[in-house]
Amino acid sequence: MTLLQAAVPHPSPIFSQRVMLGQHNVPSWDRYEAAMRDIFERRYYTNQGPLARRFEERLQDFLVVRHVVCVTNVTIGLMMAIEALGVHGRVLVPGVSNTAARHALAWCGAEPVFCDVDPVSGHLSVAGAQAAHDDQIKALLGANLWGDASAAPMLTAFAAARGMPVLFDSAHSLGCEIAGRRVGTFGQIEVLGFGEGDILNAAGGACVTTDDDELAARLRNIRSSYGAGRPVPVVKTSNGRMSEAQAALGLLSLDDFAVNRKRNRILFDAYLSQLRGVAGIRVVEPHGAAVSNHQSLVCAVDERVFGLSRDRLIDRLSADNIEARAVDVAQDIDGLARPLPTTGHIAASWLMLPIGAHVDVAMVATVCEIIGTASLQADGASV
């Protein structure tokens, strides 16, 4: 008799503590304490300090990119990127994308034109961009999501052929690779995230990457009124400086990157193996990235086969203290001038499951068993 068979109907959750989404990668206390003591002894807390500069240099080597500009968060990084490129007017954006990208466009006075996405990967394809493109489009803002990647080389070529700048919101995809190149090296500019939910944790920080010297100079002068490096005229500044505390945590997390990615792969493979036999559930595997960081576990739910809707499954998991949520998509897609049927389907049927530092293989097995049991119960079968 399994844990779930003994517990159905169970008066209390299977997990006594909430199993949370997100990576939650933090260094050991002694390493963190030493880094913080160093900052306080130096009494240099922000404004392109020595740790922030070191973090940028290490990321440049890690990503194999000419310039990395560290900033306080992803939204600020995207705002800076859009401003540095001088993007205004209508911008192509995938319907499945991060809220931060849409907020950044709004702050910069740009209008998102949403494109439908690939039904298997959930990422923007050239066909999706082509269908939404018109002569008024000024730029393309792509997205690399969930530890996977879009068809970035082809999207970059598509934009270049039309004279449009292209940037990528790659908040989820540090360390992922496309055809031997790391995400962060495509388009004119990319933004990568270092939040608690990301594989690299720099306390909500982010970075903007580019191989263009002029764009890098603009970014460094937009980042704060103090500027950094070669002075160039800019219209706006952002107060987007990364603190020394963020950089210290980021450096420690970068040291741990390989270990954390290996752990994610083990957990991802455990989900993939155990959910493969659950009818109506499909794990969304990396599609565009030849190498993934596996920082997210996304599933597609076919309600007709599984027996429960995505939202009812989320409620079922929540009852056992397992956090799950819908993937992020454009709001009010039903009211858009151009229909986005695949985006709408994903909005109603895809969810994220816990994977990261607070999850182990045994927990994955229990989560998968709960999902399988939910399907059996939906069919009215005995457990």
Contacts of 164 (CB under 8 A, 6+ apart): 137, 138, 139, 140
Q: What percent of the chain has pLDDT over 70?
A: 94
Q: Are 124 and 156 in contact (CB under 8 A)?
A: no
User: Residues 306-351: pLDDT tens digits?
Assistant: 999 999 999 999 999 999 999 999 876 666 667 899 999 999 999 9
Concatenated DSSP letters of 13-74: -SSSS-B-SS------HHHHHHHHHHHHHHT--SSS-HHHHHHHHHHHHHHT-SEEEEES-H
User: Using CA atoms, how far apart are residues 139 and 325, in angstroms rounded to an integer?
Assistant: 31
Helix axes 361-378, 257-275, angle to 10 degrees: 30
Q: Are 95 and 116 in contact (CB under 8 A)?
A: yes
**pLDDT recorded at residue 233:** 74
Instruction: For residue 112, give the DSSP letter.
Output: E
- The answer on pLDDT for 3 being more than 50 is no
CA 156 to chain centre: 20
Mapped onto helix, strand or coil, the DSSP state of residue 245 is helix
**pLDDT confidence of residue 8:** 47
Q: What is the pLDDT of residue 190?
A: 97
Mean pLDDT score, 59-74: 97
pLDDT value at position 114? 94
Residue 268, pLDDT > 50, answer yes
DSSP letter at 380 equals T
Q: Which domains does the chain have, with CATH numbers?
A: 3-24+257-378 (3.90.1150.10), 29-255 (3.40.640.10)
Q: What pLDDT sits at residue 163? A: 94
Nearest CA to 330 out of 78, 75, 79, 99 is that of: 99
Type of residue at 269: D
Give percent of the chain with pLDDT exceeding 90. 84
- Cα 106–Cα 108–Cα 109 angle in degrees, nearest 5: 65
Sequence length of the chain is: 383
Could you give the CA distance from residue 313 to residue 373 in angstroms, rounded to a whole number? 11
Task: For 96-109, write each residue's pLDDT tens digit.
Answer: 999 999 999 999 99
| Side chain identity at residue 374, one-letter code | A
Q: What is the pLDDT of residues 250-267, one digit of tens each?
A: 999 999 999 999 999 999
Backbone angles phi, psi at 167, to 5 degrees: -135, 160
- At CB < 8 A and 24+ separation, what contacts does 216-223 make? 216/66, 216/67, 216/69, 218/83, 218/84, 219/67, 219/69, 219/80, 219/81, 219/84, 219/189, 220/69, 222/80, 222/83, 222/84, 223/69, 223/71, 223/80
Residue 328: exposure state from Cβ atoms within 10 A (0-12, 13-18, ≥19): middle
pLDDT reading at 179 higher than 80: yes
